[in-house]
Amino acid sequence: MSQVVGGDGAVGSVPVDEQGGRRPNHVWRIVGIWVVLSVVGDLVFWFVAGPHVPPGTMTTTASGAQFDFNVLFVVALPVILGVWTYLVYAIVMWRASRWVGEGDPVRGPTARSNLKVQVAWIVTTTITVLAMFVFGTVELIVPAGAGGAEGPNPVWTPASKSILPIQVIAQQWQFTYRYPTFGGMETNNLIVPNDTTIAFHVTSLDVIHSFWAYQLGVKADANPSVDDVAYTKTRQTGTVTIRCSELCGIWHGAMFDYGKVVSKAEFMKWGIATEKALAANTKNLPPFAWTYVPDANGASGVYADTSGQAPYSKTQKYGATKAAQKIVKSPTTVTTTATATSSTATATSATTSTATSAIRKLTRQASGTTL
């Protein structure tokens, strides 16, 4: 190589800053600027912006997402600043207008490759990437899927013994919610108790939607004939924005509503009252199931005024893939008992616990998995 290329620095064309006695150490200059910018940037981000990063801290998964985003950002910012610092430095320092002398820069073979630099670059990026992967995997598995969709057979489940199941039914273009532990009642608004582990069972009656409970840090696609499960644990009360985040047809943009996280006692009160109020309606609903196959009367996906039609056919037998009637019954009984003893949080927890364990048992049987 050197034969053809000529010796390193054989011809005296050097940039202006290398003439004379002191050669500036570009590496240390760039590193210096980079370290200062990165440290300042990371600290400012972590302490000023970090606590406000979406999706907030309303649930464990939301806090987890916020923490993960912040960690990734703190790693990513120095990467971005490093490249930018270098580019800006190069643009300022090594422009042709600062060049004196004739001809092109001659650097010899080092201009073509530099083993040390290349190995260092590859090793550094590889370590960074692998570290991010390990971090991401831990943060995915430990919080039981981190609020993301786990499909009908979740591999990572919360340790909690009392999990409140809530079914999210998506259809063009709204979400409705069924509470199997309250007689399978169906509501238009999501009400969630605070300080509770929740399993969202997301399904669709027509096309693919995506249930995005923004502040809860939960997102799960709603697929027809699929029971898509996502877990979270609430930690604060407040309002929740729910949007569909998978294009589902022309009114996709209008498919949103608002939910609430309320205290356990309030939730219990609301649940029992609503179950009673909706009892007549619930009777007409298809029995609670993990998935539904709508008939021509309901959610056929035609954009037309369906306000006059019943959402479900009274006569049609819905294609429940797993028997669920039994599940609904026992918690209902328990709930009634709880009402009689004017229960509060403890009773709720007991209620949901019974229901959940029953459901989980059935799910396990149905899916043939062992946990």
Partner 1 sequence: MSLDIAPPPDRIGVVEPPTRGPLARRPAWLSQHIGTAAIGAVAGYALGHYLGNTIASGYVHVQTAAENDLAVVLGLALGVVGWLLGIGVFNYPIAKMFGRKPAEVPEAANWTRYVRMSLDHKTVGLQYLIAVFTFLFTGGLLAMAIRTELLSPTSHIYGPGTYISIVGEHGTIMMMMASSLVVGPLGNWLVPLMIGSRRMAFPRIEAASFWIFSSGYFVILTALPLGGFPTGWTGYAPLQTQADVGMDAYLVGFFVIGTGMILAGFNLLVTVIHYRAPGLTWGRVPVFVWSIIATSALLALATPTLAVACYFGILDRTATTQLYVNIHGGNSYLWEDLFWFFGHPEVYIMALPGFGIVAEILPVFTRKPLFGYRVATAGMIGVALLSFFVWQHHLFQSGIDPAMRPLFMLTTELISIPTGFIYLVGMGTLWKAKIRFEVPMLFALALYFNFLLGGVSGVFLSDVPVNVTVHGGFFVLSHFHYTIMGGLVFGFFAGVYYWTPKLTGKMLNKKLGKLHFWAMFIFFNLTFFPMFLIGLFDQPRRVFEYANRLQTLNDFASVCAFLLGASFLIFVVNFVWSVFINPVATAPANPWGSKGLEWQTPTPVPPYNFERIPVVLSDPYTYGEVGAPPVADLTGAAFATVGAPPRPVDGGSGAHTYPPAGGPGQDQ
State which of positions 124-153 bind partner 1 (CB under 8 A): 125-126, 129, 132-133, 136-137, 139-141, 143, 145-153
Q: Does 214 bind partner 1 (CB under 8 A)?
A: yes
Residues in CB range of 346: below 8 A, 6 or more apart: none
Q: Is the separation of the CB atoms in 209 and 177 below 8 Å?
A: no
Among 21, 103, 308, 368, binds partner 1 (CB under 8 A): 103
Residue 265 burial class via C-beta count within 10 angstroms: exposed 0-12, middle 13-18, buried 19 and up:
middle
Q: Does 346 bind partner 1 (CB under 8 A)?
A: no
Q: Please identify, using beta-carbon distances, which residue of 151 and 287 lies nearer to partner 1.
A: 151
In the block, tokens 């001659």 appear at 106
The site for partner 1, by CB under 8 A, has a size of 104
Interactions with partner 1, residue window 250-309 (CB under 8 A): 250-254, 256, 293, 301
Among 319, 333, 357, 369, binds partner 1 (CB under 8 A): 319
Among 46, 156, 265, 269, binds partner 1 (CB under 8 A): 156
Cα 46 to Cα 52: distance, rounded to the nearest angstrom = 10
Q: Please identify, using beta-carbon distances, which residue of 40 and 141 lies nearer to partner 1.
A: 141
Interactions with partner 1, residue window 232-251 (CB under 8 A): 241, 243-251
Q: Does 191 bind partner 1 (CB under 8 A)?
A: no
Interactions with partner 1, residue window 33-72 (CB under 8 A): 53-55, 61, 64-65, 68-69, 72
Q: Is the separation of the CB atoms in 176 and 299 below 8 Å?
A: no
Residues in CB range of 57: below 8 A, 6 or more apart: 63, 66, 235, 236
Minimum Å gap between C-beta 132 and partner 1 is 6
Cα 8 to Cα 368: distance, rounded to the nearest angstrom = 70
Q: Does 11 bind partner 1 (CB under 8 A)?
A: yes
Cα 348 to Cα 335: distance, rounded to the nearest angstrom = 8
Nearest to 16 by CA among 95, 70, 81: 95
Q: Please identify, using beta-carbon distances, which residue of 202 and 334 lies nearer to partner 1.
A: 202
